Amino acid sequence: MRESACVVKAYLDMPWGQLHYRTIAGDRGLPLLIMLHQSPLSSRNYEAVLAHLAGHCRPVALDTPGYGNSSAVPEAWSVADYAKVVWDTADAMGAERAFVFGRATGAVFALEAALSQPQRVQGLVLHGMPVYTDDERADRMRNFAPPFAPAADGAHLTGIWKRILSEYPWIGPELATHFAHDFLSAGSDFARSYRAIWRYDLPKRVAAFAGGTDLPTMLIGGSADRIAFMHARAVALLPQAQAVWLEGATDFVAEQQPTLFAEHLTRFMASHRGSLLTAPAGPRTL
């Protein structure tokens, strides 16, 4: 870990608006790592781990469009639209290839990014990969995360707080406050990206991709993860992937145990680093 490393927050201009990200500036000869968070949170989830990754790669943690400080996007956005942001970011950073990381909702976007442009993928890391059945996707579309209406007495704030604690009863007030901030930043309809993944037939998409077994992939699961039960599904869906199981790890192991989390990522990247090519000239921010 670089003790003097400083997290930088910045924006990229995109056709749909501004993309906010966190990074630590580093050697441009190092491979690029693009990190996608779970919804409806933000890149703040990875702020603690960025310094542990610097020196091994150029880590860039994005705020998913519509979340954190990134601009909002239309309801009609699909998984492919969210995934395209990965390669738009790589282009802006001057990288032809990149490692791609995603957590939960972000894992679906990361996987689609890899499937859509596999020649650009140095390695793919999926943490808490959500693999829904058709019935689960239909149920979620009907019943999960409806928009909330701001109330004059602030009751919607209490509702958000209760929702966070019901999903993560162990979380503690400090982390819950960060999450509440992210919920509010996403607006009253904070589930747009969820609906994109529930409309997306992940197993069908993977089955249709003939080159899937050629992608260097690592799956990370944790025994205290809220979707730990889906890890076995992800392993079955991507049998070629290296599977890592972390006892006691929660959804937020990257900020609770950043050293442990970074060890797994950097070891994987070292194994699949290869050569980093240079993209055509364009805006360079790192």
Enumerate the domain spans of the chain.
8-145+191-271
CA distances from 242 to 94, 128, 133, 209, 265 (A): 29, 14, 23, 19, 12
Span 197-231, pLDDT tens digits: 999 999 999 998 865 557 999 999 999 999 999 99
* CATH, range 8-145+191-271: 3.40.50.1820
Q: Cβ(128)–Cβ(219) under 8 Å? A: no
Q: Cβ(46)–Cβ(9) under 8 Å? A: no
Give the mean model confidence (pLDDT) for residues 9-18: 97
223 CB-near residues (< 8 Å, 6+ apart)? 245, 246, 247, 248, 249
Burial class (CB in 10 A: 0-12, 13-18, 19+), 242: middle
Task: Supply the mean pLDDT for the chain.
Answer: 91
Cα–chain-centroid distance for residue 207? 22
Q: Is the pLDDT of residue 281 over 50?
A: no
Residue 283: its pLDDT value, please? 32
Span 25-44, pLDDT tens digits: 878 889 999 999 999 999 99
| Distance, CA of 189 to CA of 79 (rounded, Å) | 17
Span 40-63, pLDDT tens digits: 999 999 999 999 999 999 999 999
Span 236-274, pLDDT tens digits: 999 999 999 999 999 999 999 999 999 999 999 999 986
| Distance, CA of 145 to CA of 142 (rounded, Å) | 9
Residue 146: its pLDDT value, please? 86
Give the mean model confidence (pLDDT) for residues 14-33: 93
Q: Is the pLDDT of residue 117 over 60?
A: yes
Element (H, E) at 271: helix 258-271
Residue 275: its pLDDT value, please? 40
